[in-house]
Structure 1
Amino acid sequence: MTNSWMGPRKLGLLATVAPLSMLFAAPALAQSVPAANQNAEANAQVAQGAEQADAGTGGDIVVTGSIIRGADVGPSPVSTITAENLDVRGINTVQAGIQALASNNGPALTNSFTANGAFASGASSVSLRGLSTNSTLVLFDGLRAAYYPLSDDGTRNFVDLNTIPDDIVDRVEVLRDGASSSYGADAIAGVVNIITKRSVKGVMGRAEAGISQRGYNANQRVSLTAGTGDLDEQGYNAYISGFYYRAEGVRASQLPGPFNSSDERGICSNRTGTLVCGPNGIANGLDQNNQYTNGFAIGTPNFYVRPADATNTTALGRYQLLNPAAGCLTGTPYNPTAAELALPANATAPGTVCQVDNQRLYGNITPDIERVGGSARFTAKIGDTSEAYLQVNFQQATTSYTGTPTVIRANAPAGILFPQFSTSQNPTPAIDPNSGILALPVYVCPRTTVGACTATNGTLNPNNPFAAAGQVARLVGALPNSFESTRTRSRVYRAAFGINGTIFDDVDYRFDATAMHTDLRLEQNGYVYIQHLLDVIKDGSYNFVNPGLNSQATLNYLTPSNITNDSSDLLQAQFTLGKAIMTLPGGDLRVAVGGSIFYEAIDAPSANSDENGPTQRYFRLNAFGTSGNRTVSSAFYEVNAPVVDQLTLNASGRYDHYSSGQSAFSPKFGAIFRPIRQVALRGTYSRGFRIPSFGEANALPTTGYVTQQLSSIPAEFLRQYSINPGASQICSAATPQFCSAYISNYSIGQTTLASQNLEPEKSRSFTAGIKVDPVRGLSLTVDYFNIRKTGAITTPDLSPAIAAYYAGGAIPTGFEVIPDAVDVNNPTATPKIAFVRSQLINAQTIKSEGIDFGINGFYDFGSFRWNTNLNASLILELSTTVDGVRQTYVDTLGNFNLTAGSGTFEWKGNWVNTFDFGDFALTGTVNYTSGYDLSAMDQGDAYKDCGQAPAYFGCRVKSYITADANASFKVNDKFTFYVNVLNVFNRLPPIDPVTYGAYLYNAVQGGDGIFGRQFRAGAKFNF
């Protein structure tokens, strides 16, 4: 990648300078370019939106963020990723290359989140400057793209990076500066502009395959592109391209420890002054002393029952395996001793418990991913001064994974009271309709039975071992032969047309239009439909005693497929005119104006609506859903004034009006000053905005879950969940081994309510940079950025409501705290919190400040060439302020609301070195992401107070360094073979016991490092 604020260069030029130029390289190497090539570049044509040039052709050059033709010098910092950059680093998708950007920080959405319950399942997105996925604008050839139909965290709209047609991408330009003055909404943190090839001659393709050293994460990629015609000689070019990509999903059981087991007893710390080791998270597992003291875990895929009176109001004994003869259907049986059963925590435990390691059996790291697509483009000269193109793209991306066993809820979830033994055909309950505890009745009847099911019209329930005694059987467990699974299939259709050139001898024009449609099919299986569960309990049609004997039809009725068809659309047309209006001492004063109109829409119905009643829905599926559309009309301008040879000034602005009633004007000013040839200074000042997303304005209530650490729960509240208080085994943050499983595995649902009264977020940003070329072949850059968003849309700080609940006080206005079901093992304890509800508001100020560093060196030693590139980003501040209260997050795990608990890394960067011997080249890359303190001020912590760290872990997650290697062998001008070794030293990510996007590691910090050492080999051809 080239970091530049002098504007992007033709790929042909990059190839001349450094055929193996690095990803994340520093500024352009103008001093290394022969004069003839510099002159050729100076004559390049520039137009709105995207560089159309590719290697071997002489097409246009466009600076992302500018509509001025010929403005090959821009005041904003631009990083360029070329196809060669990706190859040289062993990165086989553009999506992965964008995720590796040093400026991509914190709340990026990676593919690994899909396998861990992400709202936007199946998608990937970028987050420049740590400002979340909704503040980075993604363009295709300078034109807007349709949003992914599902929103990140149920609120943030973004463009899915998995929809990029990899093999026709010429390069990606990343504008690391606010760009609302050119593109409108969402460009607060920067712009990612994906630029496709202008022309292709001949036939080219590749085939490659890879796998990790441990034998998982197998991946394959094949592609073929063919083109004909020469734009300069024949006046046209046409090409078609197709590709197939597949990556095998990885299960937790395939990883080494500790990532492959729920048992965390091997993770220990003496931070508190006493050696404390982690809990045994294996359901019904033993403690540090190999004793069964942690209470009865009811959610394993084994059915247990407990007798209760006929009205289901009083329990009459312990739990027991529903089918003792069958033993544990899942897991390892353990028979607690009499002393263990006598512990208060085990008051309801059965004589045989099943120990189930959920992480080892069911944990996922990444989903199965499969992509296939095709593209075609036709480009033609129109007369002597114009050029037109038509491009069409199709891409299908499929992700799938299988998760935990099908869950039933033994206690009615918040908002639902099980109407016991009623059915969809006969809604009259037989017993107390307010009972919140699931139970198997004494008698079963056909679903058509009217009224109560009794001895007169029913038969004794064969699933209830207590039926003969007239007792109901309270039921807990999960289905041992059914599993929850999710599959997404995204189909993206895109067409673009454009014409550009010169009219009236000196007026530059450009017209572009695009249409894009995303069709997303979300299929979820293995989730219990609540009313159907009550149905099969009522009529006894599901065999709980021997689940394996149930027919597929019965399973399908209990867990019907939930298929949701979501879509998004984008239509855009824009036109620009430009002209040199006078000559200044430094060159032509150029002015450009333009207009744009686009339509965007999302239709994402809820996958789990409760409109038909609280039981006409599924357990565990989120109710998120949204729909909406709007039309945006825009007018924009730009003036570029080279006042003198040493000073160029630039000004631009854009006015956007939304059919939903909002409007915004976004100005920008920039300057470049060159006191001497070797030094250039530049700076920008701009204002921007972000329109409220469809999810923020129109969505159904959305719930995300945040892990509640024991250290953040008041001691007096925790004491209620001590497993044996009489023996001084008191539950506390320092002694988690003495806490019941109910409170140890504690997540609070943060339910967000949309609001149509939200205003656009506003931003102010400025940059300042210096580029120094001290000697030929060496360039240094330092770029400072400062972004401030006001009126940022946020969920109010929930900590006051949570603290009030713990203290037994009044809940603050604007919040609703919904308690969870009572802990069946601690029925007298105050229930933990299930959900906190609040409405989105414009109340936050967010500030992001930092420095980018770049070094690019190129040296020719005769027998070989050495290219070295160092790129790093330092975050100085990422903070939020609400009602005058400032919270800061750099070098911590927060902000949870903004970064989804992925952390704000102070440093991120890489160093790439290539040694090119002609037919053989060797590249090494070192990647670095800094560690962070386990605290987050939006979770009630003080800054860097270690507030989220459990007692068995230190205060900090370590930094993470990996190294990659790539070797390429040029057989001849037509064939090249290459071998990649990723994560050469087999370093796994550092342990993080708090981050919830993955188990025991940070998926954003760790990335693909969790796979360990990987190998990939392939061949490229070109005829």
Structure 2
Amino acid sequence: MRAGVAPVILATALFQAPLHAQDAAPQADDGANDTIVVTGSLLRRIDKETISPITTVSSEDLAIRGITTVQQGIQNLSANNGPALTNGFSANGAFAGGASAVSLRGLSTSSTLVLFDGLRAAYYPLADDGTRNFVDLNTIPDAIVDRVEVVKDGASATYGADAVAGVVNIITKREVKGLHLQAEAGVAEKGYGANQRLSATYGYGDLSEQGFNAYVSAHYLKSAAVYNKDLGYPYNSDDLSGICHDGVCGPNNMANGVDPSIGFTGLSTATNVFMARPYDAATGAGTGRYELLNAAAGCGSLNPYTLTDAEYAANATAPHTVCQQDITHDYSQVLPEQQRWGISGRFTKIVGDSGEAYLELNYENSKSSYTGLASIIRANAPAGIDYSAYSTSTGAGLLRLPVYVCARGTAACDATNGTLNPNNPYAAQGQEAAIIGRLPTSTEYNESVSQVFRAAAGIKGDFGNDWHYQVDGTAMVSKLKTTAKGYVYIQHLLDVIADGSYNFMNPSATSQETLDYLTPTQINHSKTQLYQGQASISKEVFDLPGGPLQVAVGVAARYESLNNPSGNPDYDGQTERYFRLNAFGAKGHRDVESAYFELSAPIVEQLELTAAGRYDHYSTGQDNFSPKFGAKFKPIRELMFRGTFSKGFRIPSFAEMGALPTTGYVTQSIGSMPQEFIDQHLNSAGTGPNTYLTNYSIGQTTVGNPNLKAEKSRNITLGATFQPLNNLSFSVDYYNIKKTGAITSVNFSNAIANYYATGETSYDGVTVIPDEVDQEHTGSQRRIAFVQGSFINANTIKTSGIDFNAMGKFRLSDNITFSTSIDATYVIKLNTEYPDGTVEHYVDTLGNFNLTAGSGTQQWRGSWQNTLDFGKASLSATAYYTDGYNYSAEDQGGVAGDCSLVPTNYDGEAYQGCRVKSFISVDMTGTIKVNDQFELYANVMNVFNNKPPIDATTYGAYLYNPVVGESAILGRSFRIGAKASF
């Protein structure tokens, strides 16, 4: 650890506390004997000092911090790390676009179990990275959430699969009285990112006096899209020459840009102004340079640049004049447009002397949309299928305009039945026109609409001699409709080229009919279902010196299913599909039967021991027993020691067991390529790689394996709490998790290295699919487009760290109270060990790329909240801290800390230091209670207008890490709101 960082955070930890009211909080009021039940347990208890570390976030805590949604509050947890799925990542083409998910301990979204009122929830229909099941946090009914309890410990012994890293339990309100209204609106200081929220909840009845309560609640939330062009430099431009370090500045990555170091950077295929080059139709050889397809129209809205004589001579195919375009500025999006609304209702009834029954219904509708680039007309088809050949030999991968055009459907078109192609300027000379560019007539657009239907019912109470029972059931269906527009359908592209109906000379003159045919709207429907019932009974068997021995047993059964058909299959051939739309698809269902128990034995007043176990049987062939043991030792009233040992498991997802090919993308750094390969793709000045290797990524395609076994985990936690005063408490907990048989794809790196060395496309169970050719070096070895293999149980993952929590509350005067709190996590280790004994270390680096999209594993993460309460008013400030990290990742080659992924310019010089800087953001909230019924509040987010540190290597967002800086990228923003209760 770097000197200076840990002492500061450890010192502040002595005076601050968690993101919540207390370290262990109640899950539900049983209405009898003031007992509580905490998340992760079946048993009632009187004290709140739990054996497992639990963080509680109440709805009041979120309001004090100015947090609008429960989703955002969960994402801000210090234990949430690495592979978390944020809304900002969804705006950059994530597999599970439109969704959000938590990843405790950096073990991925599928190793954190999310519950609603202690019951499982249906998975989001799309898998994270096309592989991992998770529950979408955007479907939480915010208006009726009472609190969120986070068990930062393995909990498979209570809940079964997926509770490897912990549990997030979202607990809704048990009782609401009267009418409660809330309205708020916000916007960034510079005018973008407008957002609004409305909610109304009405409840009637008093459980304690009338024996029943019923309430209904509705909410609406909308936030506008934010684009890179809205932001300040450098987040709004491909020209990075203004980013400098030690006198070295970044590259100009604009399409057809001019770099200060090397001049013209090479001919781009990405602009929305077409360029053409003559090709011999018989031999397939290029016979001249590129030129503007429509010279009379010039560059249109783009900036023209005339090459110098030296640049012209050095680029064999470049024209005298090129069109420059800043793709990021013109198209890229930071946050999607989001719209959410929902309605919920609950009826609770006291039954008999001690029973309580409830019925809850929820409907949530979440819409997310984002725009992409201008439509692409030349690319590899997704999911590992190489569609690069519009012709053979030289120039493969180039789109060719033929010499003659004929009516659509003509088998063979030539001079006898066709006419000269009006889009081909070389037709009269009998030559084809190879064109590059993107369609200026359409832009890629993606929209997801999620509908969640949920019903839950249950009853609990007492019977006989100290017997307690609880029965719950839930049914949940998650439907997802995804819409994609502006994506080119390959066969239709070939059709409009062959009949000349798309006007490449003047695209705006193309008929709407042709445009609709070329980019037909693609709509896909997916659905997941979950039906679950569970029942438990518990009893105080006999008294021990420390209290009653409690035993609980339970059974559960559930059915879960997924139907996510591919939105871009190739069943009818490689051309009967879209460019760029991923072909991911998965389908499956399974039944799960479970039996479990729990035992609590307070041996003496100072010592409590617990034991729990659960057996799960899956119809897909997996069986697992998960034990857990815990101890709590309290030698004096102010001090408590606690510890747990547990084993758990993660069930293979439907996608991992039976998915269609799934493709994720990882950065291929220049430093990890052999010099012999780089030398085949040099720029015109011969000083470094050309744009063919710039921002290069490889698609890693993995196919499902129905024979996968469950991942197994071992979890140890050791901790202590210290409460010297009633208003001051501290806690520290050490966690150590080992996951074996971790599901992963086959090792792609060896096959990639072998391809670079030998050119072989098949190695050790992996198929390598080369990309299109380098048009500046057509005879060179092609870069890699995709590598393809299957999922296997192979790896061992180890992680450990320390959670620091503390809180204090002090009365400064009769009318003023000051409270302060901290929640901080220090990650000691996060490693992956492969079957061959190789170990990769990720802490303080950008790794694990395969799980995090390069968002890294930060060593420290924490928050510090301070509040002054004046009775009728309050003022709160919350600081969020995320540690910096080294530009390296062992799963991308090199060694942790070696700076191997530091971004370089075209001269190969690093224009940033070896570390992405640490980051602090401060939010403030002020409230005024006008009277007992009316309250006004105002939020200032990112008070000091700190922008996220530049990270030019992560690809979850442009030049910043979305897990670190999703909200801060907007700069300073404001929100005002009002609450009314009657």
| Structure-1-length-normalised TM-score | 0.91
Q: For 1:652 and 1:721, how far apart are their aligned partners in 2? A: 61
The 3-state SS of whatever aligns with 1:773 is strand
Q: 1:412 to 1:485 in 2, by over 3 A?
A: closer
Q: Does 1:65 align with 2:40?
A: yes
Alpha carbons of structure 1 residues 420 and 187: separation in structure 2 relative to 1, 3 Å:
closer
Matched residue SS, 1:652 = strand
Report the Cα offset of residue 351 of structure 1.
2.4
Q: Are 1:712 and 1:948, in contact at CA under 8 Å, matched by a contact in 2? A: no
- The yes-or-no answer on 1:338 pairing with 2:309 is yes
Pairwise CA RMSD: 2.0
Distance 1:92 1:59, change over 3 A: farther
SS at match of 1:1010: helix
The one of 609, 616, 623 aligned to 1:656: 616
SS of 1:113's equivalent in the other structure is helix
Partners of 2:913 and 2:883 lie apart in 1 by 16
* Counterpart AA for 2:788: R
Q: Quick check: 1:916 aligned with 2:887?
A: no
For the residues of structure 2 that align with 1:977 and 1:786, how far apart are their CA atoms?
Answer: 44
Describe how 1:635-650 pairs up with structure 2 within 5 A: 635-650=595-610
Quote the residue 1:1016 is aligned against: 975
Task: Say which SS state the counterpart of residue 1005 (structure 1) adopts.
Answer: helix
Contact 2:52 2:644 in 1 (8 A): yes
1:795 paired with 2:745, answer yes
Moved more, 572-581 or 775-784: 775-784
Counterpart residue number, 2:339? 370
| Structure 2 contact 178–202 (Cα < 8 Å) conserved | yes
Look up the SS of the partner of 2:581 in the other structure.
coil
In structure 2, how many angstroms separate the alpha carbons of the residues matched to 1:191 and 1:536? 53
Shift in Å at residue 777 of structure 1?
Answer: 1.3
Aligned to 1:866: 818
The percent identity for this pair of structures is 55
Quick check: 2:378–2:397 contact (8 Å CA) kept in 1?
A: no
How many Å separate the matches in 1 of 2:302 and 2:167? 50
Q: For residues 470-481 of structure 1, what are the structure 2 equivalents within 5 Å?
A: 470-481=430-441
Aligned partners of 2:719 and 2:731 also within 8 Å: yes
For residues 127-150 of structure 1, give each alpha carbon's deviation from its aligned partner in whole angstroms, at most 9, with x where no partner exists.
Answer: 001111000000000000000000
Find the aligned partners of 1:59 and 1:300 in 2 and give their Cα distance.
Answer: 68
Are the counterparts in 2 of residues 319 and 349 from structure 1 also a CA contact under 8 Å? yes
Q: Deviations over 1:719-744 (max 9, x none)?
A: 2222236xxx331xxxxxxx311111
In structure 2, distance between residues paired with 1:637 and 1:995: 45
Alignment of 1:494 with 2:454, yes or no, is yes
Asked whether the equivalents of residues 417 and 433 of structure 1 are also in contact (C-alpha less than 8 Å), the reply is no
Tell me the CA shift for residue 676 of structure 1.
0.6
1:385 partner amino acid: S
- Segments of 5+ residues of structure 1 without an aligned counterpart are 1-20, 31-45, 422-430, 732-738
Structure 2 alignment gaps of length 5 or more: 1-15, 904-909
The offset of 1:812, in angstroms, is: 3.4
Which residue is 2:843 aligned to?
890
Residue 783 of structure 1: CA displacement?
A: 0.5
Inter-CA distance 58–336: structure 2 relative to 1 (3 Å threshold): farther
Secondary structure at 2:460's aligned position in 1?
Answer: strand
8 Å Cα contact 2:588/2:654 also seen in 1:
yes
- 2: CA distance, partners of 1:528 / 1:22: 53
Give 2:555's match in structure 1, choosing from 589, 595, 602.
595
Equivalent in 399, 402, 410 of residue 441 of structure 1:
402
CA contact (8 A) 2:24 2:54 kept: no
- Count of residue correspondences: 956
Give the distance between the partners of 2:801 and 2:512, measured in 1 at CA.
57
How far residue 952 of structure 1 moved from its aligned partner, in angstroms, is 2.0
Deviation at 1:53, TM superposition (A): 7.5
Q: Is the 8 A contact 2:35 2:45 kept in 1?
A: no
Amino acid at match of 1:68: L
1:246 aligns with 2:197: no
Which residue in the other structure is 2:422 paired with? 462
Amino acid at match of 1:548: S
- Structure 2 CA distance, aligned partners of 1:29 and 1:125? 23
Displacement, 1:775? Answer: 2.6
Q: Deviations over 1:896-951 (max 9, x none)?
A: 11322110010000110111111111101111000000111111111211111122
Aligned to 1:386: 355
Aligned partner of 2:163: which letter?
A
Partner of 2:294: 323
- Superposition pairs of residues 583-982 of structure 1, within 5 angstroms: 583-724=543-684, 729-731=686-688, 739-808=689-758, 812-862=763-813, 863-883=815-835, 884-950=837-903, 951-982=910-941
Q: CA 1:542–1:154 in 2, change beyond 3 Å: closer, same or farther?
A: same
How far apart, in 2, do the equivalents of 1:671 and 1:51 lie? 23
Query: 1:169 matched to which residue of 2?
Result: 145
Report if the CA contact (8 A) 1:797-1:938 is conserved: no
Q: Secondary structure at the match of 2:91?
A: helix
Specify whether residues 443 and 52 from structure 1 end up closer, same or farther in structure 2 by C-alpha distance, changes over 3 A only: farther
**Conserved 8 A contact 2:379-2:387:** no
Following the alignment from structure 1 to structure 2, what is the Cα–Cα distance between the partners of residues 207 and 551? 46
Alignment pair present for 1:153 and 2:129? yes
Distance in 1 of aligned mates of 2:366 and 2:960: 26
C-alpha deviation, 1:337, in angstroms: 2.6
1:529 maps to 2:489: yes
- What is residue 126 of structure 1 aligned with on the other side? 102
**1:176 CA displacement:** 0.4
Contact kept? 2:395, 2:775, Cα under 8 Å = no
1:484 is displaced (CA, Å) by 0.3
Q: Deviations over 1:257-313 (max 9, x none)?
A: 00000001112234xxxx432111100010115832x11002211111111112361
Output aligned runs, 1:380-459, within 5 Å: 380-409=349-378, 415-416=385-386, 436-449=397-410, 451-459=411-419
Give the AA of the match of 1:370.
Q
Give the C-alpha shift of residue 433 in structure 1: 13
C-alpha deviation, 1:871, in angstroms: 1.4
* C-alpha distance in 1 between matches for 2:641 and 2:352: 41
Secondary structure of the structure 2 residue equivalent to 1:774: strand
1:104-137 residue CA offsets vs partner (Å, 9 max, x unmatched) = 0111000001110100010000000111100000
Amino acid at match of 2:328: Q
Offset, 1:801: 1.9
Per-residue deviation, 1:165 = 0.2
- The AA in structure 2 aligned to 1:447 is R
Q: CA deviation at 1:28?
A: 5.1
Is structure 2 residue 981 aligned with structure 1 residue 1005?
A: no
Q: 2:275 aligns with which of 271, 289, 304?
A: 304
Please name the residue that 2:189 is paired with.
213
Structure 2 distance, partners of 1:978, 1:419, is 61
In the TM superposition, residue 434 of structure 1 has moved relative to its aligned partner by 11
> Could you tell me which of 542, 556, 575 is aligned with 2:502?
542
Instruction: Report Cα offsets for 1:696-720 as digits up to 9, x if no partner.
Output: 1111111111122222222222122
Which residue identity does 1:506 align to in structure 2? D
Q: Is residue 182–residue 199 contact of structure 2 (8 Å, CA) maintained in 1?
A: yes
Mapped contact 1:420–1:432 kept (Cα < 8 A): no
Matches within 5 A, 1:979-994: 979-994=938-953
If the length of structure 2 is used for normalisation, what is the TM-score?
Answer: 0.95
* 155-164 or 814-823: bigger deviation: 814-823
Relative to structure 1, is the Cα distance of residues 312 and 400 closer, same or farther in structure 2, using a 3 angstrom cutoff?
farther
Determine whether 1:89 maps to 2:58: no
**Structure 1 residues 330, 756: closer, same or farther in 2, change over 3 A?**
farther
Determine if contact 1:148/1:157 at 8 Å carries over to the other structure.
Answer: yes
- The Cα offsets for residues 345-378 of structure 1, whole Å up to 9 and x where unpaired, read as x211122211000011111100000000000000
